[in-house]
Every structure is written in structure tokens, then in C-alpha cells.
Amino acid sequence: MLNKLKKFSLFIILGSILLVYNSTIICLQTDDEYIYDFELWLNEGDTIKTKAFYINQFNLQFCVTTVDTAGNEKETFTPKDLKGFKYNNQASEVEFHSMENPNDMGRLFLRIVYKGEYSLYQFLEINLHSTVLSFTALYYLWNNGWLRPPISKTFEKESLLEHFSDCPELEYKIKKGQYGYSNLNEIMSEYENCELTDEYEFILE
């Protein structure tokens, strides 16, 4: 089995700092390990179906470690090795793509939460000022490149309007609080329908 790292919070924070300043790829291990069925997509075009460790989504941004039937570590893949991967966590299927990180931190595996003409990816940041290990989710739009700024809970309405205010109905719903950070899939779906409509009539009340 994998060697367990002690003082995980300290190591992971230090690892995050190294990543920001040195573009270092890290793959940390903890006691909170699960083994799921993964499908890995190699850069050469081959697909590998295997079992791999799931620690948490933050760690999967940096690497995937496969295991044998006894749970022993076999091989570790970084974002430079794979096009992406998916796994089933018994509740849903989760998919990650190898992407250039929007914060200029090197290449990462980013979870895709919406696929379409505009795709939406989730990036987790460590809360460095928190007394407990926690993460903040930022959402980035992709359309032949990253569309900034990220959508965040902190600047919920402002970041949503920055991207979707050119669709009148969505602008109205966001301003009125009908749509927010928790409605990203609905927002993305409506936005693509709005963008594909040649004539769109909507009267703001």
C-alpha cells in the first residue's frame, strides 16, 4: 500500500505554494483513500480501464495512481501523460480533462461540469487562510481558450453577469436572484440556446 503522509494539512498547503510559484506537479496521499473504476485516455489514443485511488478531487487535479487487485500502487499518471479520465463514484460519472491551467500554474486535470459549444470546468483552490483543510471552487468557461474572469461564489452575481449578460432572459434571472452559483448547468444550457437563436425578444420588467 501507499505510504501515508503525516501532517497532511501542512504538506498540502506547502505543496500548493510550491505549485503556484514553481509549477510543481504534486500527488499527495492520505488515509482517506477509496478505489474506483477508472477509464484513462492516453495521449497516444489508447484507453486503459483500471482501478485507481480516489483521495479527493483536489488531488486528482495533479495525478491518477492506478492499483492492482490487492490495492497496491502500480503506476502514476500526470496531466502530461493523459488526455483525461473518468470514473464512477457509485453516485455519478465524473470526467476530467488535461488542460493548461487558467491560473498559469502548469497543466492540470480539470473536472468538466458542462459540455457544449461553451464548456465549463471546475478548479479547486486550497483555502490557505482556513484553520481546517478546505477548498474553494472556481468555474472557468472554455471556448477555444479560457474566458475570464472565473465564476466564483464570492463574486457570484458579478461573475455570472460578466459572461451571460448578453442573453437578456439570463441577465434578468441573475439580477433578480432566480439563477445563481448553484444553477450553473441550467445557466449554461439556456445560454447556448439563447446564443443559437437569431432573433430573441425579451422585455425586462
Q: Does 1 fall in a domain?
A: no
Lowest mean pLDDT across 48-52, 153-157, 174-178: 153-157
Same domain, 20 and 114: yes
HEC secondary structure over the chain: CCCCCCCHHHHHHHHHHHHHHHCCCCCCCCCCCEEEEEEEEECCCCEEEEEEEECCHHHHCCCEEEECCCCCEEEEECCCCEEEEEEECCCCEEEEEEEECCCCCCEEEEEEEECCCCEEEEEEEECCCCCCCCEEEEEEEECCCEEEEEECCCCHHHHHHHHHCCCHHHHHHHHCCCCCHHHHHHHHHHHHHHHCCCCCCCCCC
Q: Which domain-ending residue is among 128, 151, 174?
A: 151
Task: Please check whether residues 37 and 126 belong to one and the same domain.
Answer: yes
The residue range of the domain holding 75 is 8-151
The residue that leads in pLDDT, 18 or 40, is 40
Q: Are residues 88 and 43 in the same domain?
A: yes
Residue 20 lies in a domain: yes
**Res. 204: pLDDT tops 70:** no
Please determine, for residue 189, whether its predicted confidence score (pLDDT) is greater than 90.
yes
Q: Of 111, 133, 151, which one is at a domain's C-terminal end?
A: 151
Domain assignment present for residue 176? The answer is: yes
119 and 183 assigned to the same domain: no
CA distance 112 to 97: 7
**Quick one: pLDDT at residue 203?**
47
175 and 142 in a common domain: no
Between 13 and 40, residue with greater pLDDT: 40
Residues 160 and 193 in one domain: yes
Same domain, 79 and 164: no
Domain count of the fold of the chain: 2
pLDDT of residue 195: 58
Is 3 part of a structural domain of the chain?
Answer: no
Read off the pLDDT of residues 92-108 as tens digits, 9 standing for 90 and up.
899 999 999 887 768 99
Q: Is the Cβ–Cβ distance between 107 and 91 less than 8 Å? A: no
* Whether residue 137 is found in the same domain as residue 188: no
The answer as to whether 102 is a domain residue is: yes
Residue 85 sits in the same domain as residue 178: no
The tens digit of pLDDT for each residue in 60-77 reads 999 999 999 888 999 999
Nearest to 181 by CA among 165, 147, 158: 158
Residues 181 and 192 in one domain: yes
Evaluate whether residue 29 is within a structural domain.
Answer: yes
Q: pTM for the full model? A: 0.77
Q: Does residue 41 sit in the same domain as residue 126?
A: yes
Residue 28 lies in a domain: yes
Whether residue 66 is found in the same domain as residue 139: yes
